[in-house]
Structure 1
């Protein structure tokens, strides 16, 4: 009987991990990539502004 109880521990841990991962991923399906792509576009614009404000002589390759 003791061996069955020890086998129950990993089964319960796997079940808990499944429930936890399902719970944590519930919002990522709703949001999609729109917010991330918009953030990346803002990042690129900021980097281009910073780069254009720097010394133009450093752009010569």
Structure 2
């Protein structure tokens, strides 16, 4: 029975490593879409608020 316990420990460790590896490698690009859209809106707003004459250029 003790030998079985010693064989199950690496099995559980490998199973835990496989679960952790699949979780760590998951696709996380879902949240980036809204952040990129927000950055685009920010950039467009900054372009609208900047003076269009360009006379302040040094």
- Report which of the two has the higher share of helix: 1
Q: Which has the larger radius of gyration?
A: 2
TM-score (norm 2): 0.46
